[in-house]
Amino acid sequence: MEALIGLWLLMGFFWGLVAAMIGSPKGQTGTGFLIGLFFGPFGVLIMLFTTGSRRECPYCRELVKEAATVCPHCQREIGQAVPRQRKTSQAQLKSDLDKFRHK
């Protein structure tokens, strides 16, 4: 039984490291480690699909930090982070309003 728990911890640690490595270029090393630790291979998948707090540079398409004003890859000015447009939530709000009106 103890060996099983040890193996489980070892696997969790392994997946944590893998997820941390994936999260590292996205600035989410710590988060990645925890997610990998708890979710194992699924955590690694989660880290693969998350972009973290990064956004795409409009010039070179590299991921840069959300707060960055100059792209570290192409040295171009990319301005302050603009809050992401939530097209879906706006559409959702409209449909909610419509539902409300029909009541």
- Options 6, 73, 86, 91; binder of Zn ion; rule CB under 5 A: 73
Say whether residue 74 binds Zn ion (CB under 5 A).
Answer: yes
Minimum distance, C-beta of residue 80 to Zn ion, in the bound complex (Å): 15
Q: In this chain, which stretch among 3-11, 31-39, 42-50, 72-80 interacts with Zn ion, using CB under 5 A?
A: 72-80
- How many residues are there in the chain? 103
Q: Cα dist. 25→47, 88, 98 in Å?
A: 11, 28, 43
Q: In this chain, which stretch among 10-18, 28-36, 52-60, 90-98 interacts with Zn ion, using CB under 5 A?
A: 52-60
Say whether residue 72 binds Zn ion (CB under 5 A).
Answer: no
Minimum distance, C-beta of residue 71 to Zn ion, in the bound complex (Å): 3
Binding residues for Zn ion, how many (CB under 5 A)? 6
Residues that bind Zn ion in the complex, under the rule CB under 5 A? 57, 59-60, 71, 73-74
